[in-house]
Structure 1
């Protein structure tokens, strides 16, 4: 097994790029066509005129950065939005027909845009960081200002309601098939009480003092507690996501000089100490 330390974000990027290879020729066509429109003043002005003729606000074709698949997704979506106008442009300009997408190409790009949709949409990730912080019983929201705390609490409440409602819906579907009307009504009343209790459960967790513990062990113990199981499931989903940033990317990049194919016997503590000493030395903390 390769002993190098890998960056999770880089691995994800490689996986997505590999999955896009099937539609690579069609994506290249979009890229070249978009580049031509943006560089050619006559074509750009003609496209703008077509938008005006259709009574629609002008949308500039978006060119991607090939190494960033989220920008490729945005390019595909924008191209599909303005397809009606670009079809008219190409129909009136014979020299552009050879570089434009065929009907088969448009079908071909549906698959990568479908798979790129979930990891690209901002709403999936925008609350992930504050939720992960607050679900750490060692930290919660203690290091934030009151204004930021209130915002984080509202975000966490919104996410938690989705977890609670999803499970309640499953219970409703099962109940309608197995119980009589009166029993079903009584169960609905109990579930209404349970929904109120789940809100109290989250508030109780946030109000409890900080604990010095291993975060994953803390939530693993609560997976068997009926009162905390929904919150524990939510914690599992958010805490499993690995954070990434420019500093962490830098750490993974320099790690290959610390752990190499010929020097791979260092344990975890020694690797951490070595990287720490290196950063101290580079910043002048050590002489």
Structure 2
């Protein structure tokens, strides 16, 4: 009985029957190759016309072997040779054409637009496209499907979808259907495997910074996210969600600290925590105090506890701006309700666009509403409303039901505050950057915010003074004492060094305070450096002692130093003590600032990576400081994933399965550098008012 096999070639689709009972007479030849151009045989020796499509890729040749002429076939593309018996099966030749010929694959890739996956070395992520020997591996295929479900947040039932299975079967007839229960177990295996990899990575990390936040799901279950941030051995900033667990109410400081400690113990990183970033809730303050006491009691409080509790800068900015927006709450209410009214009806939007065209107002800008708890969306709403100020006025004159047009004085106040908030938008984009910016960037942004508030506070405009007063008070409450962390981190930016602190402190503090404030920062920096230097020396002495002990054990017959040699070594040691070389820190601060070439984007971690051999001790301190996050954005991003995983259709997932999908998805996406479009990103598209389309239709009529 024969089995048909579909063969797809560039211009040929044929079915070839391979006799299962036939013995294969073909054998791969590893000898030398020749580059002769031989005509393609169209007939066999028996005179029959060859129908197999493989003969488009092979030619018959004759070679000398041990004094005899031996017939063989040679691949036209890679010149590989095989023994061949005339009239015999062509299954080995077919296998070569379909999967073994690299030259043919390369040629087809140029014309067929085949997908090229990044190498494992460049992504540190195995896509696992083929199994051992290039054949089909059902276990590997199941593992890849599990990773796909975790990384892209798909339901387990996805593997049972009819058309998914049709697609898989079409691509490989050996594919076997997988049930949702089987893939669920496979997801668990993948999660455990990835967690073990993470544990091994953490063993080589000296300091880890944490961020944490709490969230309540649609099922009213409270969850806590814990994120680890660190700089890896290649000086790349990394972020991983290491825990997404449920918390029993109430979410007190004791409950939060116990949950964090339990997670750290499971990961084995309880002695590597340098800082933890939390928002300004009182329960978080209590949790930070308890954690700090625990680490201090075990003598594992790094940086001398100087940076241990970091307050979320994005949260502080939000509090400051919300206080400022209260002065125009009536204007905001009118604009917000007016936008809602216009967006409810396509006919109203079309009429609005018609008026915009008539008055020469650019219609490409969207007319968007806001989320009241997100001040940056309120700022965006204000900008769009100000752009359409004339159009809103004309529309209100034509529609008697539109009753939310702001007064002229309200428009004026909205314009002032919209311009004023630009610096806050820029600072928020830096603080909440999706690429998790390094800590050296934050001091300058804090300075810009303080400068803008102070200028408004000293302004002759009564409205600006009234608006900035509560903002100034809130700034002084949280940032009156600019954190030492921001100042020290800014010094590690080789473009500015001490100049960043000297310049910004003159604006942030009173003149009589500046010198003492700068001295305080430099004293802290030197103290930290000395601790790191001492730790390095102790490590070297320990290694040297071990080496000396080993040498004494293995070289008992070596001669002792003579008295003269001993005196010479003592003299050298004394000279080295008298002429002490400058420390890494002193050399770094005395060198002129680094100037990037050609205005290229500057990456502070790349610079330290290139100079770590020059500053062996200081670079260790820089690595640990620059990775400290000043916002909880990393942890809050987990709640977006949690909201997608725990949607209305999967709200009954177990807590362990939720952690698997949230944490495992984060690990796989980070390793493969892939992204998932979030619900928030999709919502942004819905905020857009496509006035431009209506204008084009109108202008043609």
TM-score, with normalisation over the residues of structure 2? 0.23
Structure with more strand by fraction:
2
Max radius of gyration: which structure?
2
Query: Comparing both chains, which one has the higher relative contact order based on Cα–Cα distances under 8 Å and sequence gaps of 6 or more?
Result: 1
Structure with more helix by fraction:
1
TM-score, with normalisation over the residues of structure 1? 0.49
